[in-house]
Amino acid sequence: MAVKSTIHKFSIEELIKKKHQSKKEQLDIHDAYLTHSFDVENEKKFQNKASEYANALIDVQFENENSKRPQNMNTFDYFSPINAPFKSKRNPDFNFIDLFAGVGGFRLAMQNIGGKAVSSSEFEPNAKFTYARNYGQVPFGDITKEEIKDAIPAKFDILCGGFPCQAFSIAGHRKGFSDTRGNLFFDIEKIVATHRPSVVFLENVKNLLTHDHGNTFRVIKEILEEKLNYVVKEQVLNSMVHANVPQNRERIFIVAFDPSQVPNYSQFEFPTPIPLTNTIHDLLEKGKVADKYYYSKSHMYYPELDKSMTSKDTLYQWRRIYVRENKSNVCPTLTANMGAGGHNVPLVRDEFGIRKLTPRECFSFQGYP
Ligand SMILES: C[S@@+](CC[C@H](N)C(=O)[O-])C[C@H]1O[C@@H](n2cnc3c(N)ncnc32)[C@H](O)[C@@H]1O
């Protein structure tokens, strides 16, 4: 068969879709280096680390097509990067790293005020895929691993981290530092000690303040202040009071400054309240949503729910053994295990039946566009 020579563009979006959907593979550190090399062009470490993987991908592609790889092209020119909808601005005002990145809520907020993420880390496969498609970077994985910490660029301005909160939350078992999810603060400590960002910006459940009679928060604050020499400010903010989002979501925000890099740190103030003009009804989808969100007649909760949920177009709250109408016009705190049922799950009764919130609605209640 004749061997042809053509210039290919190799779609990274297709690559990560295939890999994510495959039963055998997962998005890994190689995909993270490759995507970061396009998104953070001035960090040569990313290209160096990605180059072997990138070359192997191109070789396989040419081999599959039985065509010859031209020798005169730069490896990275063969790729078309992910066409992500949420990009940082060209000349960012500051840069940050996005730890415990989830699907990128922290990142979106920081991008909106002129920041650029120069690295991200998240280990949950679906969150990684969502994040990659939204922002163009496959996050690096488990931050407790040294190879993942090594991927962090030497210098960046702000460390952002909504570190896991189940270990401290009232809804969880409140094990704190004795739960591996609570220990992750010590990984943040190591990264701060190595990289000395100007600012450390952390978010957690409000209960972090009172967990273990205040000892957990005391340890966090002491480490930041006394071991790492940062100045710490903290405040509990609520999305319905500070973000015009109709969800009752109280979170503690911890902002720590390195005074040698931020001499005017004392001017920092937490935001003041703004009026809540959005209501639940602005965020609930109109009309029938996909069948899978409705409770079927055979669902074990159905008779109970059906008795209690009489008004249409209303939000209810599933409270372990009963359901009550939500009259506050504000959604209760969304939790990580909502899809699995459990405590305080919001339910909607619309003209088609009783249903859970859709992912779109959950995103809206979290303030995403
Ligand atoms: C409270 S959520 C943060 C959500 C995020 N702020 C957002 O805007 O979507 C914590 C995240 O940390 C991730 N996580 C937990 N342990 C991790 C680890 N060892 N390495 C990387 N990510 C981890 C979880 O999968 C979860 O998505």
Distance 102 CA to ligand 1 centre (A): 5
In this predicted structure, the answer to whether residue 89 has a pLDDT above a threshold of 50 is yes
Q: Does any domain span residue 5? A: no
For atom 27 of ligand 1, the residue with the nearest CA is 102
Among 121, 123, 140, 202, the mutation site with the greatest number of ligand 1 atoms within 8 A of its Cβ is 123
Q: Residue whose CA is closest, atom 22 of ligand 1?
A: 122
Q: What is the pLDDT of residue 320?
A: 56
CA of 190 to the centre of ligand 1 (A): 17
Cβ atoms 6, 67 nearer than 8 A:
yes
Looking from the CA of residue 142, the nearest atom of ligand 1 is: 20
Same domain, residue pair 313 and 185: no
Question: Taking residues 265-273, what's their average pLDDT?
Answer: 97
Q: Are residues 125 and 219 in the same domain?
A: yes
Write the CB contacts of 61 (distance below 8 Å, at least 6 apart in sequence): 8, 10
Three-class SS state of 232: strand
Residue nearest to atom 9 of ligand 1 (CA): 102
Quickly state the pLDDT bin for 322 (edges 50, 70, 90).
low
What would the pLDDT profile of 222-252 be if each residue is shown by its tens digit? 999 999 999 999 999 999 999 999 999 999 9
Residues touching ligand 1 (Cβ under 6 Å) are 100-106, 121-124, 127, 142-144, 162, 164-165, 184
In angstroms, the CA 2 to CA 10 distance is: 22
- Angle value at C-alpha 285, between 103 and 112, nearest 5 degrees: 35
pLDDT at 309: 67
**CATH classification of the domain holding 296:** 3.90.120
Write the DSSP assignment of 316-348 as a string of letters: EEEETTEEEE--SSSBPPP-TTGGG--EEEEEE
Read off the pLDDT of each residue in 335-361 and give the average, rounded to a whole number: 78
**What pLDDT does 2 receive?**
46
Residue 73's pLDDT is what? 83
Most trustworthy range by pLDDT among 156-160, 328-332, 352-356: 156-160
CA distance 352 to 82: 38
- For the chain, what percent of residues have pLDDT higher than 70? 83
Specify whether 165 is catalytic.
yes
- Judged by average pLDDT, the poorest of 66-75, 192-201, 264-273, 307-316 is 307-316
In this structure, is residue 149 part of a structural domain?
A: yes
On whether both 72 and 102 belong to a single domain, the answer is no
Supply the range of the domain harboring residue 134: 94-267
Distance (angstroms) between ligand 1 centre and the Cα of 36 equals: 19
- One domain for residues 305 and 244: no
* Cα separation, 123 vs 116, whole angstroms: 21
Query: What is the atom index within ligand 1 of the atom nearest the CA of 101?
Result: 5
Residue 19 CA to ligand 1 center (angstroms) comes to: 21
Q: Which atom of ligand 1 is nearest to the CA of 108?
A: 8
User: What's the whole-model pTM score?
Assistant: 0.89
The string of pLDDT tens digits covering residues 124-154 is: 999 999 999 999 999 999 999 999 999 999 9
Of 80, 106, 128, the one marking the end of a domain is: 80
Same domain, 110 and 245: yes
Residues 179-195 as b or e (16 or more Cβ within 10 Å = b): bebbebbebbbebbeee
Question: pLDDT digits over 281-292, tens only?
Answer: 899 999 999 998
CA of 317 to the centre of ligand 1 (A): 26
Atom of ligand 1 nearest to the CA of 143: 20
Q: How far apart are CA 94 and CA 361, in angstroms?
A: 31
45, part of any domain: yes
60/162 same-domain check:
no
pLDDT given for residue 1 in this prediction: 46
Confidence band, pLDDT 50/70/90 cuts, at residue 3: very low
**What average pLDDT does the chain have?**
87
Say whether both 65 and 28 belong to one domain. Answer: yes
Q: Per the structure block, which two tokens stand in for 26?
A: 């997962």
Provide mean pLDDT across the span 39-62.
92
Could you identify the residue written with the tokens 């009026």? 275
302 DSSP assignment? H
pLDDT > 90 fraction of the chain, expressed in percent and rounded? 64
Average pLDDT over residues 327-334: 83
* 89 lies in some domain: no
For a ligand 1 pocket test, name from 28, 111, 112, 122 the mutation site with the most ligand atoms within 8 angstroms of its C-beta.
122
Q: Which of 267, 291, 315 is the last residue of a domain?
A: 267
In-domain check, residue 353: yes
pLDDT bracket for residue 342 (50, 70, 90): low
Nearest CA to ligand 1 atom 4: 102
Which has more pLDDT, 166 or 244? 244
* Across 102-111, 292-301, 328-337, least confident range: 292-301
Phi, psi values for residue 118, rounded to 5°: -100, -5
| Segment 171-223, tens digit of pLDDT | 655 566 666 556 899 999 999 999 999 999 999 999 999 988 888 899 999 99
pLDDT confidence band for 308 (50 / 70 / 90): low
* Residue 4 is assigned to a structural domain of this protein: no
Q: Which of 45, 80, 115 is the last residue of a domain?
A: 80
Q: With the C-alpha atoms ordered 241, 245, 249, 253, is the resulting torsion angle positive or negative?
A: negative
How far, CA to CA in Å, does 230 sit from each of 180, 197, 208? 25, 10, 19
Helix axes 29-39, 44-64, angle to 10 degrees: 110
Query: Which of 160, 165, 331, 362 is an active site residue?
Result: 165
Tell me the CA–centroid distance for residue 121 and ligand 1, in Å.
Answer: 8
